[in-house]
Structures are given as C-alpha cells and as structure tokens.
Amino acid sequence: MTKKTHDRLFLGFLGRKSGAQGMTETLPLADARKSTLPSTSLPDPLRQRYVVRRVLGMGGFGIVLLAKDALIGRLVAVKQLYHQFEDNPQITQRLLQEARIAGQVAHPNIVSIYTVEQVGGSCCIIMEYLGGGNLGELIRATKTPMPPGTAVSLILGVLEGLKVAHALRVVHRDLKPENILFDNTGVPKISDFGLAHLPEEAGGVEDSGTKVFGTPLYMAPEQLVRDADVDGRADLFSVGVMLYETLLGQRLHLLPGVRDIGDPRALPAAGKIIAATGWPDQVPPLLRGVIERLVSPDRETRTPTAAHLIAELRPFAMPQAGELAGLGGVLHAGGGYTLSNIDILRDIIELLLTDGFLSLDERIELDRRAERLGIDEHVATQIEEEVRSQMGLPPLAALHRYRRLVESILRLGEITATDRQILDAKAAELGISEEERHSIEESCRPRRRTRRARSAGNRARPDPAPLPDPVHQIE
C-alpha cells in the first residue's frame, strides 16, 4: 500500500466521525452503551462466589468488573457481554476465543485467564486483576516525555509477550496504551485479545468481511483494508506508535493544535507527523530510525518480527541515573520494578484488604510494618486511602464516622436492638461491610484481660490501635 493510499483511507474512514473520542475507541463500535445501561450484576449462579465491587471498564460489546472471589479470597476481573449480545453466537464465540488465546499464550507479560464461566446464554471470563493502571494513564501522569531508557524498557516487556503470541499465529490487532496494564510491581502485561486474529485452521473464529477491527489511532494501514491479510507486523506498527507517544508525550496521528479529526491536517501518515514535529534531542538517532521503520505504511520495510525488534531496542533499554524519578520504582530492562518502601507498604495493604476489611490485629500489624519501613503515619494513611479507592472500599472517613457512632452508643451501655437498627442504617449509608462493622465494634469494646494478666500486678493491656486519621477532615 502506498503512503498516498494510506492517507486517503485514514481520512476517508475516520473523517465521518466527530471528536477525538472516536479515534481512540476500538472498532467495530456497538451501540450498546447508548441504547441500554449495561448490567453490573453477574448471572445468579455466579453471584455467591464472585462479589462485584465496581466497574473497571466498558467496551463496544462488553463490560469488565472488579470482583472478589469469595472462595479463594482474591480479587479478579470479570469480563462479560452486554445482555443484548448474549444470543449472538459470533460475538460469544469471539469472547470464548479471547479466553482460549490468552489461556494458551501463558506468559508473564500477558494477562492470565483463570477460567470461563457459562450460565445459560451468559459467558464470563474470569481473569487476573491488575491494579497498577495502564500505559495510557502512565503517559498522562508523567506529563512530560518519558526518558528513552524507561520507555524502551516498558515496550520490551510488551514485545516479550507479543513474541510468544505471534509464535502461536495470534495477531492482537488492538494494541494501544490502554491495553497495556501493569501489575503492582510495574510489570507490563498485554490485555484484551477480544479482536485478536487466529487463522481458522488453527481454531480461530472467522472474521466478518464487512468490518474493520482495531483502534484508529494505533491501526496499521493494512488494517483499514477489508479482507486484507494482516500479520504480526500490524502489531509492530502499533508498538511503534505507542513508543513514539511514550517518548514524546503526544499521539502520533494528531499534530499539535489539531483537535478535530475532521480537520484535513489531523491524520497524515506517520512520516508526515514525524517530519513536522521532529524529534527531541534526548531520543538517539538510531532509536528514531527504528521507530520510523515501524510506522512505515509499507509493512515490507518494517522490522519483520517481535524477536528482531527486541534485539534492535535492547541497546536503548538501560535507564540513565535519575531517569526514573517520580515513577514509583526503579524499572529494570526486563520490564519490572525494584520496589520502594512505599510500593512494599502498598502491596501489604492490598494483601490485608483482599477480604475487604482490616481486623484489629491486622491494623496493629500494618502500623508496625509502616514504622519498620520508615513511612510516617500521614503517608501510610494516604496510601491506604488510595488502595481503598482503587478496590472500591469505603474511605477511612466513613470508618471514622461509624466508629464514633459505636463509641457514643457503648458509653451508655451495651448495644440494644434499637441501637442495632441505627447502626445498620448508618453502615448501609456509608457502604461498610458486615465484617468491617464487626471489626470496628470489637475494637471499641474494652478487651478482657486474662487470668495471667490480672495476676501479674494488674498490668493494663495496651489500648487497641485506632484507625488512622483520614486525609481529609471529617465533617
């Protein structure tokens, strides 16, 4: 395909849309989000085991939920189709293919699939939950171009997973920053194989010849041609676009100052963008050449395989001193972080909150761990607030309000039936679970001393550990 044909296809295909959102959404788009509100509940037989916490994301055909696996006690991500697509065999088969592909492509840089649950017409994928955000969020959070060593190190992790997928003849077709997730140690993982192509002879689902698959801003030119033979080089094009965006802090297919994709300047070929914007001095000339080859409209001139690209990029993956400040850890060339003390405490809090609450003993242990790590109480509280928000748990301010109510009741004596009704209503209002309520109420009661403690000079036991003060003042 020539560059002129690529420009025409890009402008013709995307010029029908208005606003930048259409360019970053996955195609084909469905009207599910416009026609009906998606259900955040699971089929009845699954609700007892998988307790939904919150919505993680919504796509054209389905929704991803954060849930707690009550049987094992871990957090999981649950992907299910919108109800109106449950009777569509082609869409259901594609969801099942996504699970089969990710399940077979077992690799540390690919999101793990635990199981698939089918109940009647409903189909759900139960997969690994990753609470470290995604590459798109990281690019926006840093607010400045990422140092080359850091950017390349992240992309190398993606390429390691991609290399294994391509060896199994799987083409992802929708690689973009939002589909590169991080675990809590900073390891990048490829997610969402919902649009992946697997040849029919290898067990893949037949593609509809009337649809274009992918996300416009990250699609290779050949993906815009219906019935085109798309191979792994299309994914490498997307990797090149992501690497450019990570290095420059701006999307490749949008010139500075252009906000409307109806503007004829909005979607020139990648080469035109690079020629118009140039490269920052910090990007080595050899790395620029690698990226320019990757985003070539002629796939024959691109780096041929993920393995070849890994070899080309690895020399640039040694971060220089000071490059990683503010990213929450020290990134290795292999795609992971050496945890800081803050990262370690965050992991401890997430582990302790797996069942949705902290017991009194767990609260005491958490305070001890923070002290040993040299993290002051205010910072530890901020970390816990962030983890609670991420996991869909009530904030510390809500727990403080409930605790104050319990303490005021216990000053008058034991909790009566009327008191219990008041506490029930307050807990429901604040979104506090039964387990959390029990923990707070027990911590408010005087702890009984043992016979040994009474005989040892009536030494008083230490007061139970209080809840940390919330970051924001309680009204």
Catalytic residues: 174
Q: Hey, how many other C-beta atoms are within 10 angstroms of the C-beta on 173?
A: 23
Alpha carbon of 280 to those of 147, 148, 188, 255, 474: distances in Å? 11, 11, 25, 15, 47
Q: How far is it, in rounded angstroms, from Cα 344 to Cα 331? A: 15
Residue found under tokens 């020139």: 268
Q: Hey, how many other C-beta atoms are within 10 angstroms of the C-beta on 463?
A: 9
Q: How far is it, in rounded angstroms, from Cα 368 to Cα 346? A: 14
For 123, counting Cβ atoms within 10 Å of its Cβ (0-12 exposed, 13-18 middle, 19+ buried), the class is buried
- Asked whether 217 and 252 are in contact (CB, 8 A), the reply is yes
